[in-house]
Amino acid sequence: MKRTSVSAAAITAAIGLALTGCSGAPAQQEDEGPVTLSVSVWNMEQTPEFQALFDAFEKANPDITIEPVDILADDYSEKVTTMLAGGDKTDVLTMKNVTDYARYANRGQLLDVSDVVESLGADNLAGIEPFDLDGKYFSVPYRQDFWLLYYNKGLFDAAGVDYPDHITWDEYRSLAEKLTGETGGQKVYGTYQHYWRSVVQAIAAAQTGGDLLSGDYDFMEDQYKLALELQNGGYALDFGTAKTQQISYRTMFETGQAAMMPMGTWYISGIAAAIADGKSTVDWGVAPMPQIDSGDDTVTFGSPTAFAVNKNSEHEAAAKKFLEFAAGEEGAKAIAAIGVVPAFSSDDVTAAFTALPTDDLSVTTFNEPKDVVLEMPVSENSSDISTILDEEHELIMVGDSDIASGIATMDERVTRDVLE
Amino acid sequence: MAIAATRAPMRQESRARARRNALVGWSFILPNFIGFAVLTLVPMGAAFVVAFMEWDSYSPPEWVGFDNFERMLRDQSFWIALGNTAYYAAGHIPLTMLAALGLALLLNKRIRGLGFFRTTMFFPYITSLVAVAVVWNMLFNPTMGPINQFLEWIGVQDPPGWTTTSAWSMPAVIITSVWRDMGYYMVLYLAGLQAIPQEYYEAAHVDGANAWQRFWNITIPSLRPTTFFVLIMVTIASFKVFDLIVVMTDGGPGRSTLVLSQLIYREGIKENRFGYSSAISLVLFLIVLVFTVVQFRIQKRKED
């Protein structure tokens, strides 16, 4: 008898344990007074813009406290997708890319924030276009990264060549050749092209008007030719080594192993910090991305980052207040101060952007009007097409496919497996 | 009559005790069983249903019959992944077993520093997989890696590009995984070797059998149960390979090392096509099941 009751108790306890694990905590009421606003972010430690924004916002709104929900950058999309599917109530969600944004918005998981966009003025917000879903906005961009050309002034001076001021791809190639050599026993590459497919494909699409979702990729031919010439001539580290050894583009540039490097504006704060910490002594500047013909207007590619409000949020008013602040002039100044490119533009914001080198070329590169094409257009097929383009990119770059057959395979696979 | 009357309550009592014992037993395994049921059994069962549905984990699932399987037949990536999985298994299973057996035979002798060598051989298995993949990628580096430098030194004119070429990426992965796994299976073989009675060898020695004959006629047959167990374990592990490939090549270059479990992960977790992903996992399950059943059959026939 005694033993029965013990076992019964054990079973009840075990089942009870399992059940409490499943039941949710009771819903909380919106507080009258101070509000705690939760915001999903990634790699908080390495992404200082979040802290800068939160500090500035809390200072301006003492009754609102920000509680960051820190998520590993690599898992961010999957984690947020799962959170939303489970009815999570995190108030503000950071949209890491436009593809995820479209997915969440189309599922009705985000709050309509068109009023915030209207009060900030859509014209003041760079990179707002892809967030327009049938005239409504479910997210407001606060930063707009675009690609430019980083260069090492010391290596240019040593080689006795002019800085890459509005150059063409042909000039870029011959500069890479001239700048390749050796200093102090270390091999110096004329340029470093990171192994991401966008380095070849997105810039080709932006400058030729090609469409990465079209299934017709002939427009990539010239860029591939250039990329292969650079690595086969030894003017750039070869793709196979860069990819399998997981080479860090930061190391390549910060240790002076590459004289030029096409990269996004997010790296401005990174290299500025490396130099401030004494980890690098490179004298650097930025120039516009090389263009196809000289005299062309500057065309490059990039992608915005945005904040959205969770439909399940219990602090709607406070969340919208945060969006308006973060994407507006105050937020823009806060992140510009640490070298992050804000979506909101004004003279004051540019003045706050102190991480940028002060030479004319760098300032012009930053301020001149330019056409920033979205890195990967948004559609339900973006992700599938992206996988195919990645795979075929690798085969072309390691030399297992020649350019023509690689592009033909992209066309064929995208058309047959995705579009049809 | 009287005896029967006394027996009935006794039987009842023993039945009650048996039930009580069973309950106590269940309550002991319950905490573990709940975890197993919630995290393994239910999802596994669900995969059989989801495979016939279209489901993105968010919208309500939709019954689509055999659509996912038809899609699989048309999906080039599926066939490539299937071929690559077979390629990997065909290299990994025999090489791992040979290496493990060879090591076990070497380390079954009384030599100085035996414990040290056994530990060394087991080390790769407990090393972090990411570290293994990163270090082997460095060793395989076509221009600066020690493997190709060695090959050039012994006179190989045009050493392979290993993980930077489609043709050699799978062999590179197989070599790495054999190196990693052999220590574990070596321990199993060592246990098997030590269970063989020494008298067999003494008797064979007296009869004049040479080392090869002793190995072939005593060691191999006596190891059969161990070999069978190792074979089953390596086969299952081979078909499920995922982590090493993801870290080492991520399926590339192109799709040259894309395997089934990676495709399942990509279609399910990345693309949110849980129906299609479940359908592929069912196929993988069937393949492993068929292989295991066939191996059991062969083993049984040999025993009879």
- For residue range A300-311, list pLDDT tens digits in order: 999 899 999 999
Q: Give the three-class secondary structure for A414.
A: helix
Residue A7 has its nearest CB partner, among B24, B163, B254, at B24
CB atoms A391 and B252 under 8 Å:
yes
The per-residue b/e assignment along A236-262, b for 16 or more CB within 10 angstroms, e otherwise, is: bbbbbbbbbbebebbebbbebbbbbbb
Q: Give the number of beta-carbon pairs within 8 Å between A and B.
A: 91
Task: Write out chain A residues lying below 8 Å of B77, CB-based.
Answer: 417
Supply B171's token pair. 């062999």
pLDDT at position B3, please? 52
Confidence of residue A235 (pLDDT cuts 50, 70, 90): very high
What DSSP element (H or E) covers A62?
Answer: none
Higher-confidence residue: B176 or B304? Answer: B176
pLDDT at position A86, please? 84
pLDDT at position A16, please? 42
The per-residue b/e assignment along A137-161, b for 16 or more CB within 10 angstroms, e otherwise, is: bbbbbbbbbbbbbbbbbebbeebee
Separation CA B194–CA A144 (nearest Å)? 67
Tokens 């091999």 locate to A187
pLDDT at position A102, please? 87
Residue B260, pLDDT above cutoff 90: yes
Q: Give A91's DSSP letter.
A: S
Report the pLDDT averaged over residues A26-39: 67
pLDDT at position B9, please? 65
Confidence of residue B7 (pLDDT cuts 50, 70, 90): low
Separation CA A162–CA A134 (nearest Å)? 47
pLDDT at position B113, please? 81
User: Which of A82-86, A176-180, B101-105 is least confident?
Assistant: A82-86
B20 touches chain A (CB under 8 A): yes
Confidence of residue B6 (pLDDT cuts 50, 70, 90): low
Q: What is the ipTM of this complex?
A: 0.82
Please say whether the dihedral angle defined by the alpha carbons of residues A156, A162, A165 and A167, taken in this order, is positive or negative: negative
Residues comprising chain B, all counted:
304
What DSSP element (H or E) covers A144?
Answer: strand A140-152
Q: Give the three-class secondary structure for B53.
A: strand
pLDDT at position B277, please? 93
pLDDT at position A34, please? 87
> Which stretches of chain A sit within 8 Å of chain B by CB?
3-4, 6-8, 10-11, 14, 17-18, 78, 81, 84-85, 107, 239-241, 243-246, 383-384, 387, 391-392, 394-395, 398-401, 413, 417
- For residue range B188-200, list pLDDT tens digits in order: 999 999 989 989 9
**Average pLDDT, rounded, for chain B:** 89
Residue A184, pLDDT above cutoff 90: no
Phi, psi dihedral angles at B203 (to 5 degrees): -60, -45
Task: Write out chain A residues lying below 8 Å of B266, CB-based.
Answer: 387
Residue A19, pLDDT above cutoff 70: no
CB atoms within 10 A of CB B195: 11
| Percent of chain A with pLDDT strictly greater than 70 | 92
Report the pLDDT averaged over residues A235-261: 92
Q: How close, in Å, is residue A257 to chain B by CA atoms?
A: 17
B128 touches chain A (CB under 8 A): no
Task: Write out chain B residues lying below 8 Å of A3, CB-based.
Answer: 20, 24
Say if residue B299 is exposed, middle or buried (CB neighbours under 10 Å; 0-12, 13-18, 19+): middle
Residue B35, pLDDT above cutoff 50: yes
How are beta strands B53-54 and A371-374 bridged, if at all?
unpaired
For residue A416, what are the CA distances in angstroms to A4, A385, A388, B67? 65, 11, 11, 17
Separation CA B252–CA B87 (nearest Å)? 15
Cα nearest neighbour of A104 on chain B: B58
Supply B54's token pair. 């279209």
Supply B244's token pair. 């090493």
Residue A22, pLDDT above cutoff 70: no
Report the pLDDT averaged over residues A156-182: 93
Report the pLDDT averaged over residues B43-65: 86
pLDDT at position A18, please? 42
B269 touches chain A (CB under 8 A): yes
CB atoms within 10 A of CB B302: 10
pLDDT at position B4, please? 52
Cα nearest neighbour of B58 on chain A: A85
Task: Write out chain B residues lying below 8 Å of A244, CB-based.
Answer: 137, 140-141, 163-164, 249
Higher-confidence residue: A167 or A13? Answer: A167
User: Which of A10-19, A44-53, A388-397, B168-177 is least confident?
Assistant: A10-19
How are beta strands A136-137 and A64-71 bridged, if at all?
unpaired
CB atoms B141 and A107 under 8 Å:
no
Confidence of residue B303 (pLDDT cuts 50, 70, 90): confident
Q: Half-sphere exposure (CA, 13 Å, Cβ side) for A24?
A: 7
pTM score, two decimals? 0.83
**Average pLDDT, rounded, for chain A:** 87
Supply B265's token pair. 């992960």
Residue B207, pLDDT above cutoff 80: yes
Cα nearest neighbour of B60 on chain A: A85
Residue A8, pLDDT above cutoff 50: no
